[in-house]
């Protein structure tokens, strides 16, 4: 049931490896971010649009399960889906090796809408059309899952 | 009740900030790692010693709650403690701003002992004296908490 | 005269920005590395093959001129070419914004062949067929420039 | 003749290593930045003060010579000095291993004063007292060298 995931591909960079000769675990958070950026672009609500209007979506919680290692030059697939978009916004992720589709990591991030001073804002009030676009995307996702 | 935390200080680097003008969230995982390195050194079991013997302790799960932002040049305190050291090893962390002791983030990481081929190993068999040192540290911690 | 450059594209990640709200300059070295990896793959001498045989090519000198800024979500083109492959190996780079082809950075890196203990080696002796492949690529490049 | 260098110490983080099991070369640019931050603080002109007033000092050129490798948990010394502060500002750096003082890298960075829109500015006009403080530091340096 992964038809409603947004998929984006990337190749492991040498700078992302560490002395264990696999990818350093902190990079998975940056890859989740790459997945999130692509998912929002495809949903018609590119994150850059939010920031251009002074609306930020920082991470307030992150959780990752590391199941297997990625190595330099491996091709990976990052799957992202929007799981919740109310006061808090929640994205879920899977990272798989492209060659054999083995899942390397799973996780989620939780976010809150804030302004440039990092104060909480209500998206509905500041940018109702962006709020609607997110809700429309989430509903469409829900239907495609049914 | 923080007397049994190992504390280490660091100053936010410019390269750790992002376009939100605060620290990018992925750096907290690297700071947890800095805290872990120092805690193990003080416990008499420096992590480098493990790796020199081909024994690695990769992260298999990480969870972080981001409570407030850190900015360039802020001085921070990373508090680390060993919470469990059985088949899995678990460290807990708090990161606070030094000036006002405000907690910026809390989290934990879970690790497993593996060899250079990333295969699980039993620390007790491969390096009994390192295993004992970890247990001794954990017991001493427990007593100091009582 | 850029027909002999190997081009690879990438999109600026949020984690690559800093508090100036542009890309942190250290990332250009990682992007040069991405360009180098792709150029070598297309030349039929993927770098991973070298490392799998215990032959490393660390950077011994790097120079970069930063001409304009890259921002989050910008699409970039990294152009790489092999400029010299004797005792030392030298790659040259240009990074341009994809939309208007403006050059953002220019630079080069110089490398030396070493083994896993970081001791200098002669590629010709350890891996003559890889040495020949590099020379063949360099000659072909020279001819296409003439 | 190193008495006029500002020295700051740091310990290699695991996240700074790469699959060659030494520090990834891009980190040296971040360490140069750490050295620059500390040098400016000691000179009484902390960089954060500049940014708080909308005055930025981005890197426009960087050059590094890598002489030897740094490894996880190594203690390093970053030496920084201000070499020029006219239209362009130039810092020079040396990074040494603390234990045996072996030089691992040497380099310099060149910077220009710009505003938040990345447009060139004249420090003398926008912040004459910061300009004077930099000149005073540079003169004092020159004298201490004589």
DSSP assignments along chain B, one per residue = --TTSEEEEEE--GGGB-TTSSB-TTHHHHHHHHHHHHHHHHTT--HHHHHHTTEE--EEEEEEEE-S---TT-EEEEEEEEEEESSEEEEEEEEEETTT--EEEEEEEEEE-EETTS-B--HHHH-HHHHHHHHHHHHHHHHHH-
Chain A neighbors of D18, CB-CB under 8 A = 14-15, 17-19
Q: Which of B46, B35, B135, B10 is nearest to B93 (CA)?
A: B35
The predicted model scores a pTM of 0.95
**Nearest C-alpha of chain D: how many angstroms from B73?**
7
Chain D neighbors of A21, CB-CB under 8 A = 19, 21
Q: Where are the domains of chain B?
A: 6-145
For A106, phi then psi, to 5°, come to -135, 150
> Is the pLDDT at C130 greater than 90, yes or no?
yes
> Is the pLDDT at B92 greater than 80, yes or no?
yes
Are residues C29 and D30, on separate chains, in Cβ contact within 8 Å? Answer: no
> Is the pLDDT at A132 greater than 90, yes or no?
yes
| Rg of chain B taking only CA atoms, in angstroms | 16
**Nearest C-alpha of chain A: how many angstroms from C75?**
13
Q: Residue A34 in 3-state DSSP?
A: helix
Q: Would you place residue D145 in the very low, low, confident or very high pLDDT band (cuts 50, 70, 90)? A: low
**Which helix or strand (DSSP H or E) is residue D76 part of?**
strand D75-85
Nearest CA in chain A to C46: A73
Residue % of chain D over a pLDDT of 90: 89
Q: Which of B132, B131, B101, B112 is nearest to B62 (CA)?
A: B112
Are residues B66 and A61, on separate chains, in Cβ contact within 8 Å? Answer: yes
Cβ neighbours of C4 (radius 10 Å): 14
Rounded to an integer, the average pLDDT of B105-117 is: 97
Rounded to an integer, the average pLDDT of D1-10 is: 79
Homologous superfamily of B6-145 = Hotdog Thioesterase (3.10.129.10)
Q: Which of A22, A20, A4, A28 is nearest to A96 (CA)?
A: A28
> Is the pLDDT at A144 greater than 90, yes or no?
no
- Contacts of C among chains (3+ CB pairs under 8 A): A, B, D
Q: Report how far residue B14's alpha carbon sits from residue D56's, in angstroms, rounded to the nearest whole number.
A: 12
Mean pLDDT across chain B: 94
> Is the pLDDT at C3 greater than 90, yes or no?
no
Characterize the bridge pairing of strands D103-112 and D88-97.
Answer: antiparallel
Q: Report how far residue D26's alpha carbon sits from residue C25's, in angstroms, rounded to the nearest whole number.
A: 9
Are residues A14 and D24, on separate chains, in Cβ contact within 8 Å? Answer: yes
Chain A neighbors of B27, CB-CB under 8 A = 26
- Listed by number, the residues of chain C in 46-85 with a beta carbon closer than 8 Å to a beta carbon of chain A are 46-48, 51, 72-73
Tokens of A38: 């692509």
> Is the pLDDT at D138 greater than 50, yes or no?
yes
- Smallest Cβ–Cβ distance between A21 and the set D14, D19, D71 belongs to D19
ipTM: 0.94
What pLDDT is recorded for position B126? 93
Q: Report how far residue D14's alpha carbon sits from residue D72's, in angstroms, rounded to the nearest whole number.
A: 6
Q: Which of D58, D29, D87, D47 is nearest to C68 (CA)?
A: D58
Residue ranges of E strands in chain A? 6-11, 55-56, 59-66, 75-85, 88-97, 103-112, 114-115
Q: Which residue has the tokens 């060993």?
A: B82
Residue % of chain C over a pLDDT of 70: 94
Q: What is the pLDDT of residues D77-126, one digit of tens each?
A: 999 999 999 899 999 999 999 999 999 999 999 999 999 999 999 999 99
Q: Report how far residue B118's alpha carbon sits from residue A56's, in angstroms, rounded to the nearest whole number.
A: 39
Are residues A17 and D18, on separate chains, in Cβ contact within 8 Å? Answer: yes
Residue % of chain C over a pLDDT of 90: 89
> Is the pLDDT at C2 greater than 70, yes or no?
no
Q: Report how far residue C98's alpha carbon sits from residue D143's, in angstroms, rounded to the nearest whole number.
A: 49
Q: Would you place residue B139 in the very low, low, confident or very high pLDDT band (cuts 50, 70, 90)? A: confident
Q: Report how far residue D55's alpha carbon sits from residue D108's, in angstroms, rounded to the nearest whole number.
A: 21
Are residues D19 and A24, on separate chains, in Cβ contact within 8 Å? Answer: no
**Nearest C-alpha of chain A: how many angstroms from C48?**
7
Distances (CA, A) of C100 to B98, C64, C78, C86, C104: 45, 21, 14, 36, 11
Chain A neighbors of D72, CB-CB under 8 A = 19
Q: What is the pLDDT of residues C82-122, one digit of tens each?
A: 999 989 999 999 999 999 999 999 999 999 999 999 999 99
Rounded to an integer, the average pLDDT of A117-130 is: 94
Q: Report how far residue D37's alpha carbon sits from residue C122's, in angstroms, rounded to the nearest whole number.
A: 41
Q: Would you place residue B145 in the very low, low, confident or very high pLDDT band (cuts 50, 70, 90)? A: low
What pLDDT is recorded for position D142? 66
Q: Taking chain D, what is the end-to-end CA distance rounded to the nearest angstrom?
A: 10
Q: Taking chain B, what is the end-to-end CA distance rounded to the nearest angstrom?
A: 10
Chain C neighbors of A72, CB-CB under 8 A = 48, 51
> Is the pLDDT at A11 greater than 70, yes or no?
yes
Alpha helices, H only, D27-104: 27-42, 47-52
Q: Which residue has the tokens 């994150």?
A: A47
Q: Would you place residue A139 in the very low, low, confident or very high pLDDT band (cuts 50, 70, 90)? A: confident
What pLDDT is recorded for position A142? 65
Nearest CA in chain C to D56: C20
Cβ neighbours of B97 (radius 10 Å): 18
Identify the bridge partners of residue A92 per DSSP, sorted by sequence position. Answer: A81, A108
What pLDDT is recorded for position D2? 40
Q: Which of C18, C25, C27, C30 should be substituted to probe chain B, the one whose Cβ sees the most B Cβ atoms within 10 Å?
A: C18
Largest CA distance in chain A: 48
Cβ neighbours of B119 (radius 10 Å): 7
Q: Report how far residue C114's alpha carbon sits from residue C123's, in angstroms, rounded to the nearest whole number.
A: 9
Q: Which of B116, A10, B36, C90 is nearest to D21 (CA)?
A: B116
Cβ neighbours of B114 (radius 10 Å): 18
- Smallest Cβ–Cβ distance between A15 and the set D22, D24, D71 belongs to D24
Name which residue leads in pLDDT, A4 or B77: B77
What pLDDT is recorded for position D53? 94
Residues of C catalogued as catalytic: 18
Eight-state DSSP code of residue C72: T
Nearest CA in chain C to B20: C19
> Is the pLDDT at C15 greater than 90, yes or no?
yes
Q: Would you place residue B143 in the very low, low, confident or very high pLDDT band (cuts 50, 70, 90)? A: low
Q: Would you place residue A1 in the very low, low, confident or very high pLDDT band (cuts 50, 70, 90)? A: very low
Q: Which of A64, A88, A120 should be substituted to probe chain B, the one whose Cβ sees the most B Cβ atoms within 10 Å?
A: A64
Chain C neighbors of B71, CB-CB under 8 A = 19
Distances (CA, A) of A95 to A11, A59, B58, B109, D74: 12, 19, 17, 19, 33
């Amino acid at each position: 049931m992964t038809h409603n995931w947004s998929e984006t591909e990337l190749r492991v960079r040498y700078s992302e490896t560490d002395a264990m000769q696999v990818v350093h675990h902190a990079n998975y958070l940056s890859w989740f971010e790459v997945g999130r950026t692509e998912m929002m672009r495809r949903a018609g609500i590119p994150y850059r649009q939010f920031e251009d209007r002074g609306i930020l979506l920082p991470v307030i919680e992150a959780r990752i399960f590391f199941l297997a290692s990625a190595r330099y030059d491996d091709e990976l697939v990052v799957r992202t889906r929007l799981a919740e978009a109310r006061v808090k916004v929640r994205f879920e992720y899977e990272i798989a090796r492209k060659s054999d589709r083995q899942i390397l990591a799973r996780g989620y991030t939780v976010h809150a809408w804030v302004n440039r001073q990092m104060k909480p804002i209500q998206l509905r009030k500041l940018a109702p059309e962006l709020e609607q676009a997110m809700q429309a995307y989430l509903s469409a996702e829900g239907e495609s899952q049914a």
